[in-house]
Amino acid sequence: MTERPRIRNIADLAKIAGVSPGTVSRALSGAGLISQKTRERIQALAREHEFRPNIMARNLRIQRTGAIGVLIPLGHETGQHISDPFFITMLGLLADALTERGYDLVLSRVIPTDDDWLERYADSGRVDGIIVIGQSDQSAVLDRAAARYRPLVVWGGHSRGQVHCSVGSDNIAGGDIAASHLIERGCKRIAFFGDPTPLEIAQRLEGCRAALARAGLADSLTVFPAHLAAGANDSGITAYLEQAETRPDGIVAASDVIAMSALRALSELGMAVPGEVKVIGYDGLALGEHTVPRLSTVKQDLTTGARNLVDLLLRRIAGEDTSSVVMMPELVVRLST
Amino acid sequence: MTERPRIRNIADLAKIAGVSPGTVSRALSGAGLISQKTRERIQALAREHEFRPNIMARNLRIQRTGAIGVLIPLGHETGQHISDPFFITMLGLLADALTERGYDLVLSRVIPTDDDWLERYADSGRVDGIIVIGQSDQSAVLDRAAARYRPLVVWGGHSRGQVHCSVGSDNIAGGDIAASHLIERGCKRIAFFGDPTPLEIAQRLEGCRAALARAGLADSLTVFPAHLAAGANDSGITAYLEQAETRPDGIVAASDVIAMSALRALSELGMAVPGEVKVIGYDGLALGEHTVPRLSTVKQDLTTGARNLVDLLLRRIAGEDTSSVVMMPELVVRLST
DNA sequence: ACTCCTATCGCAATCGATTGCAATTGCAAG
DNA sequence: CTTGCAATTGCAATCGATTGCGATAGGAGT
């Protein structure tokens, strides 16, 4: 309607405005020494022509992509979807936190087949920094990459001597809280449902053990290595619960999703919750509000967790050196215990 | 260990190799006229020096970003998380399909405050194409954007006269299937749980109505506008079910998540499922396997859905013109009906 | 009116890879 | 040994925005 020649780049706009490309750049980027008048005039012109500076050119010149990679390693269970509601919750929170700080979130699922998937990704130059959700069984890989590639933070557990910067809740304390709660409720035969291959799960189990030891119930603990992924569990859990000699009166699930599977299995076996068996989950997902019965759980504050992840990452990108953050989990009592 | 001067760009490598930058480019990009010998020599050199061409420069020259934007508009329920397991399932499948085709997936949550969020995003130049998950109540916005911006596909319902290219299941047929199933099971007073503001939900309701009309039960349908988001429902659903005069004997839920809330509410009210009330969900998520009782549902094949989305989008990027795809949903009978 | 200073603006190099076109090399045929 | 042709390689422009440095214009001060 206005002009035929579409404005494709900053130079075109400069021509129309009768100034140099540099001036247009300064006018549009906000900062820079430039007079109020010309700035407003050029911005108005840009708006009128619906012109937006090319981001790729900007990225090249500025030497940053404006994107953060979020990686989800699926080390301990190949071939699975990200069916865990935990991920989406975290992902949504990260998306918010990153958008707020002006970054895009590029999502990549990774199935670690070799030992340098992380370093390859870091060197690919597609992102300015990396957030890894969950250590899975890749702690060594994470440590190696962190030694060389600075802008990297990880959601997960913290262990002594760990090189990479992590954010997560105190899994040992969390496991302790869960087990202690069941003990208070009178449980004597406690089972832990979860595969302790990933670091975090191992820590939760460790906390469990500690609580039981304090109560003199150390040898009453049984461990069933249920998978984290929804759906992979069910027949196994049912079979496990059917063995009368190991039938527990309290279950500490390594995640809310596992707890959910346990609840269903118990229901099908006709075992009352919390009457005969008490069940407590881990994570504090919204999901737990909808189970039958509502799920007691150990809640991690994922909102501040996501905020911490982004905060630490951006500080690392800025060159700062940051140390890991461990948050305290919190008991949420609902109706399953 | 080898050389001090780190190889930062293609020119450095060229110097070392004793060739021109152009030759290095050709050697590394795979294609291009170049002799076997030099290609292998240069590739070996690149590997040795751990050199990877700068992606941003490549993007600028090639005029493509190699990224696809996945947008999730949250039009009808502001301030919510993406707590819906449906999203994560779809997201995971999309991530796989896109990675397979060499694209990155950049995730953005959008809370539509104005009418041109989509066009702004499209013009931002950050991505080569856009996939929108769910029409929400933004059909008009989608249509307007689609008229101008080609590489755009949408997961959701299809309606006559729709401009944008969509992939989704036949929601009308799906609603029909759900209601018909309940009718076959002997239900007389059917309730639809779901807020029909989004197009897809409205279509499911329409299908429901059609099935009831055929059975002569047209005026027995009640609609409760439950929110899609988990957690927003519960008190409302319980209150609704407590009103004796409207107590249904069959519930068609607009999503599996809503169905899950319904199951829990029914359990708390002491109403047996499927004895007193039958419940059927919609989506076919893995989640449904873990509810008590296991959830009957109308399943959409999200795997081929995601594949279709990516396929159509890439063809649109290539300049082709594609029309919408409607897939047939499928009844999955479990134990809640 | 003249000098000086500074707030703005223009110029041109730069980021790093790609690619059309021209030049060179190699090889084989005559 | 020379010519011809084709396979490789080099050259240099290009993608579009940013920014340090130098130039200019405007105003202030005397």
Residue with tokens 């404005």: A7
Which residues from A are below 8 Å from B65, CB to CB?
56
Nucleotides on chain D within 7 angstroms of protein Cβ:
7-12, 14-20
The CA distance from A166 to the nearest CA of chain B, in Å, is 23
Contact between chains at A55 and B104 (C-beta distance less than 8 A): no
Question: Do β-strands B152-155 and A152-155 pair in parallel, antiparallel, or remain unpaired?
Answer: unpaired
The residue type of B133 is I
Determine whether the distance from the CB of A26 to the nearest atom of strand D is below 7 Å: yes
Question: What gap in Å lies between CA B150 and CA B127, rounded to an integer?
Answer: 13
Q: Which residue is the nearest neighbor of D19, CA to C1'? A: A22
Under a CB-based contact definition with an 8 Å cutoff, are residues A209 and A221 in contact?
yes
Q: What is the pTM of this model?
A: 0.90
| pLDDT reported for residue A233 | 63
Going by the DSSP 8-state scheme, the letter that residue B49 receives in this structure is T
Mean pLDDT by 10 residues, chain B (337 residues): 71 91 89 83 91 93 94 61 71 90 90 86 92 90 94 94 95 97 95 92 96 92 80 75 83 92 90 94 88 93 96 94 96 95
Which A positions 158-217 lie with beta carbon below 8 A of chain B?
Answer: none
Distance from CA of A233 to the nearest CA of B (A): 10
pLDDT of residue B66: 93
Chain A residues within an 8 Å CB radius of B91: 82, 88, 91, 107
In this prediction, the residues of chain A whose per-residue pLDDT falls under 70 are 1-5, 32, 75-83, 228-233, 244
Q: Do A91 and B91 touch (CB under 8 A)?
A: yes
Cβ of residue A66 near strand D, that is under 7 Å?
no
What's the CA gap between A254 and A283, in Å, rounded?
A: 9
Tokens 């090319």 map to which residue? A54
Give the best residue of B62, B72, B81 to mutate against chain A (max A CB count within 10 A). B81
- Residues of chain A neighbouring B56 (CB-CB closer than 8 A): 56, 59-60, 63, 65, 125
Q: Tell me whether residues B54 and A264 touch, CB distance under 8 A.
A: no
Would the CB atoms of A95 and B87 count as touching at under 8 Å?
no
| Min Cα separation B273/chain A (Å) | 12
- Tell me how far apart the alpha carbons of residues B291 and B307 are, in angstroms, rounded to a whole number: 28
Smallest Cβ–Cβ distance between A57 and the set B60, B104, B294 belongs to: B60
Chain A residues closer than 8 Å to B84 by CB = 88
CB of B57 within 8 Å of a chain A CB? The answer is yes
pLDDT value at position B75? 54
Residue B108 CA and nucleotide C5 C1' are separated, in Å, by 50
Output the pLDDT for position A87. 82
Contact across the interface for A87 and B88, Cβ inside 8 Å: yes
Q: In chain B, what residues touch A109 (CB-CB under 8 Å)?
A: 92, 95-96, 99
Show the tokens assigned to A191: 């089972």
**H-only helix segments in chain B:** 10-17, 21-28, 36-48, 55-62, 85-100, 117-123, 139-148, 171-184, 199-214, 234-242, 256-268, 302-317
Inter-chain Cβ pairs, chain A and chain B, closer than 8 A: 154
Q: In what order do the strands lie in the sheet with A250-253?
A: A222-224, A190-193, A250-253, A278-283, A296-299, A330-332
Question: Would an 8 Å CB–CB cutoff place B255 in contact with chain A?
Answer: no
Ramachandran assignment for B296, one of left (phi > 0), alpha (psi -120 to 50 degrees), beta (any other): beta
> Which bases along strand C come within 7 Å of a protein CB atom?
7-12, 14-20
**Distance between A153 CA and the closest CA of chain B, angstroms:** 19
